Amino acid sequence: MSKLKQALAPDEALAYRRRIDTRLLGRLWEFVRPYQRIVGFTVLLSLAANALRVLQPLVGMYIIDHQISEGDVNGLILMVLLFIGLLLLASACDVAFTWFISWVGQRAMDTMRRRLIRHIFAQDTVFFDRNPVGRLITRLTSDVETLNELFASGLVAVMGELLIIIGVIALMLTQSAKLTGVVLLSAPFILAVAIFFRRHSRKWYLETRRALATMNAYLQENVAGMRTVQAFNRQRRNHRQFASLNNEYRVANLHTIFAFALFFPAMSFISSMAVAAVIWVGGRDMIAGRGAAAGLSFGQLFFFVQCVHMLFAPVRSLSEKYNLLQAAMASSERIFKLFDQRPTIDAPREPAPIRPLTDAIRFEDVRFAYVPDEPVLKGISFEIRRGQSVAVVGATGAGKTTLINLLTRFYDVTSGRITYDGVDLRRFDPRALRRQFAVVLQEVFLFSGTIADNLRLANPELTEEEMWEVLRQVRAEDFVASLAGGLHAEVSERGGTFSTGQKQLLAFARALASDPQLLILDEATANIDTETEQRIQEAIGTVLAGRTALVIAHRLSTIQRADRILVMHHGQIHEAGTHAELLAIDGLYRRLYELQYRHEAVADGGDPAAPAAAEQLTNESQAL
């Protein structure tokens, strides 16, 4: 069970060790700095609101000692109006304060989120291999949100509350040092209760969060993997496990409730006692006549009673905010850890300018391994000349896709180099480099939005006519036209509503819409119905026509269209040449052709070598 919990909520185990860290606060301040004037203003507002609030008991005292004692009804009305005026002012300051401080907090967090997403976009593939999507989402949403809470209801408000405490004590001192002393006698008790509360509640607060995170992770996993749970008759056992996690959450909550149930009544008790003590001490003085000598009046007694109330409210909320501060520290630590990760593939300080290809792209003795000691490419050299298309064929695992990963700089070569018109790829800004290519990957990823949004991926200025033209070229026009909304039909998450074939056609359209000078195509192998298959073959023809291209090919028609064919095997180039040349040398390609593509050639009927090869294969397989 403990292993299970560790597996479910790994982040929670690491959190909350840290106390308040000034370095982290400094980095946080960076995000607030642009608004420092407004922050200064909110501090003033908070000062004003709290000062006005502190004045209220004074007015009350004055009313009792003067207007009421002297029986001045008109004066009483006047003073009450003044009292209401103070109240209105204080409330207005409060409204403005909350609004401005939230505004700043929201802006600062907006800035942080934007920087964070850009930082994530700038990371290389290795980063995404290491960081699960869920964790990154948590950083960008709930961790940033915790910081916002700290900011909006935390820091400045805490300052205001400290101010109230100081202000009230100072005011009390102006009235009676002795009674102030009596009130402050409660301080050690308050402190003791607050410290006990903080210890107890912090421990259980953290435990509550951990238990909740674990329970929710378990729940999420079970809901997502329900068919497996049911297939293995795990209902009873998982229900028990869930109940146990649920119970941990409940127990942690009960402990927290205990702390709160103790804290609030204890605070009420101390404040009642403080009031009683004030009246007892003050009252005895007044009775003994010493009060009069010290200038103590009924109004002052009333004033002190109110002061006790004013002192206790901020003490309560300060204790509660301590937990928030802790959580915020943990969140900011996780966020800044993310900010501190640097991509290994990045633009050099002075990237070489990139121009349209004039000569060729060359792979020069390229070696590469995803995992050390497990080479995927073992010394690959070839060139793609401008206007030429190169098809790569070979079995799964031969290293074909890796060529694309290196050319688009999702990874960098381990040794050797790839050049673009003679310049090493690593000297370019990867983003500038990628802009030269249009890439169609095996698994088509469509973004949610409309079809038009997806076609405009590379070129936002594309007009509707241009889009229809592109769709016509890849023969997807009728299918898009048949959709409700046409170009503006909604694409659901990852294009879930389209068939595999339709998604491929759209991917070709998307590539074509960017009118690339260089095309990279990783042909999909999925089985597609014959009609769509026909369309796709034609679309590939259109896309490839006259372009410099690197194609990982599975279809005979695609291979035959290429100017050069590379046969890869176990990370090396086994044979290279044109279709005719390779057929002539009776090597791997010829066997491949005969075995795999013969029937396609027959179906096409377009290949002059096909009938003979088909004949031969027929004889062969009869012999099998």
Partner 1 sequence: MACLVASNYLDIRIAVMLGAGIDAVGLPAGPFGAVKAELLTIFLLVTLVLGIGAGVTRFYMRRLIINTSRNVEYEFRNDLFGHLLRLPASFYDRFRTGDVMARATSDIEAIRMVLGPAIMYVANSLVLFPMAVWQMAVISMRLMLLCFVPMLLVIPVVYYFRSRINIRARLVQEANSDLSANVQENLSGMRVIKVYAREQTQAEAFDRLSQRYVKANMDLVRLQAVFFPALSLMIGGVVAMLLLGGGVMIIRGTLTLGAIITFFALLMTCIWPLAAFGWIMAQLERGAASMKRVNEIFEAAPEASDEPEAAAEDLAAGAPAIAPVMRGEIRLRDLTFRYPGSERPALAGIDLEIPAGGTLGLTGPVGCGKSTLAHLLMRRYDPPRGALFIDGRDILDWPIAALRRQIGIVDQEPFLFSDTIAANVAFGVAEQEAERLAPRIERVTRVAQLDDEVRGFPQGYETILGERGINLSGGQRQRSALARALARDPALLILDDALAAVDTHTEEAILRGLRELLGQRTTLIISHRISTVSLADRIVYLEAGRVAEQGTHEELLARRGKYWMLAQRQRLAEEIGRTA
Min. distance of Cβ 22 from partner 1 in angstroms? 28
Query: Which of residues 20 and 584 has its CB atom nearest to partner 1 in the complex?
Result: 584
The Cα 204–Cα 201 span in angstroms is 5
Min. distance of Cβ 77 from partner 1 in angstroms? 7
Query: Which of residues 16 and 437 has its CB atom nearest to partner 1 in the complex?
Result: 437
DSSP secondary structure of 185-248: TTHHHHHHHHHHHHHHHHHHHHHHHHHHHHHHHHHHHHHHTHHHHHHTT-HHHHHHHHHHHHHH
Give yes or no for a contact between 169 and 184, defined as CB atoms under 8 angstroms apart: yes
Min. distance of Cβ 491 from partner 1 in angstroms? 11
Give first-to-last CA distance, the chain, whole Å. Answer: 57
Query: Which of residues 198 and 555 has its CB atom nearest to partner 1 in the complex?
Result: 555
Query: Which of residues 64 and 576 has its CB atom nearest to partner 1 in the complex?
Result: 64
Q: How far is CA 459 from CA 456, 494, 581, in A?
A: 5, 20, 40
Q: What b/e readout covers 571-596, taking b as 16+ CB neighbours within 10 angstroms?
A: bebebbbebeebbeeeebbbebbbee
Query: Which of residues 300 and 332 has its CB atom nearest to partner 1 in the complex?
Result: 300
Q: Which residues contact 445 (CB under 8 A, 6 or more apart)?
A: 494, 495
Query: Which of residues 27 and 107 has its CB atom nearest to partner 1 in the complex?
Result: 107
Query: Which of residues 25 and 84 has its CB atom nearest to partner 1 in the complex?
Result: 84
Q: Which residues contact 168 (CB under 8 A, 6 or more apart)?
A: 54, 307, 310, 311
Query: Which of residues 21 and 51 has its CB atom nearest to partner 1 in the complex?
Result: 51
Min. distance of Cβ 24 from partner 1 in angstroms? 23
Query: Which of residues 449 and 486 has its CB atom nearest to partner 1 in the complex?
Result: 449
> How do strand 423-424 and strand 415-420 relate by DSSP bridges?
antiparallel
Q: How far is CA 39 from CA 98, 107, 150, 616, in A?
A: 11, 12, 14, 84
Query: Which of residues 184 and 563 has its CB atom nearest to partner 1 in the complex?
Result: 184
Dihedral angle, C-alpha 290, 291, 295, 298, nearest 10 °: -160
The number of CA neighbours under 13 Å toward the Cβ of 115 is 15
Min. distance of Cβ 308 from partner 1 in angstroms? 11
Min. distance of Cβ 181 from partner 1 in angstroms? 17
Query: Which of residues 17 and 237 has its CB atom nearest to partner 1 in the complex?
Result: 237
Nearest to 554 by CA among 519, 597, 585: 597
Interaxial angle between packed helices 464-473 and 500-513, expressed in degrees from 0 to 180 and rounded to the nearest 10: 120
Min. distance of Cβ 414 from partner 1 in angstroms? 20
The Cα 408–Cα 260 span in angstroms is 58
Query: Which of residues 452 and 457 has its CB atom nearest to partner 1 in the complex?
Result: 457
The Cα 305–Cα 42 span in angstroms is 30
Min. distance of Cβ 23 from partner 1 in angstroms? 26
Min. distance of Cβ 235 from partner 1 in angstroms? 4
Q: What b/e readout covers 292-310, taking b as 16+ CB neighbours within 10 angstroms?
A: eebebbebbbbbbbbbbeb
Chain length of the chain: 624
Q: How far is CA 522 from CA 388, 403, 444, 614, in A?
A: 17, 10, 10, 28
Query: Which of residues 165 and 274 has its CB atom nearest to partner 1 in the complex?
Result: 274
Min. distance of Cβ 434 from partner 1 in angstroms? 5
Min. distance of Cβ 59 from partner 1 in angstroms? 9
Min. distance of Cβ 19 from partner 1 in angstroms? 29
Min. distance of Cβ 83 from partner 1 in angstroms? 5
Nearest to 61 by CA among 375, 346, 303, 376: 303
The Cα 295–Cα 391 span in angstroms is 102
Instruction: Write out the two tokens for 510.
Output: 């998307």
Min. distance of Cβ 248 from partner 1 in angstroms? 10
Within a 10 A sphere around the Cβ of 479, how many other Cβ atoms? 17
Query: Which of residues 21 and 324 has its CB atom nearest to partner 1 in the complex?
Result: 324
The Cα 212–Cα 50 span in angstroms is 37
The Cα 417–Cα 365 span in angstroms is 7
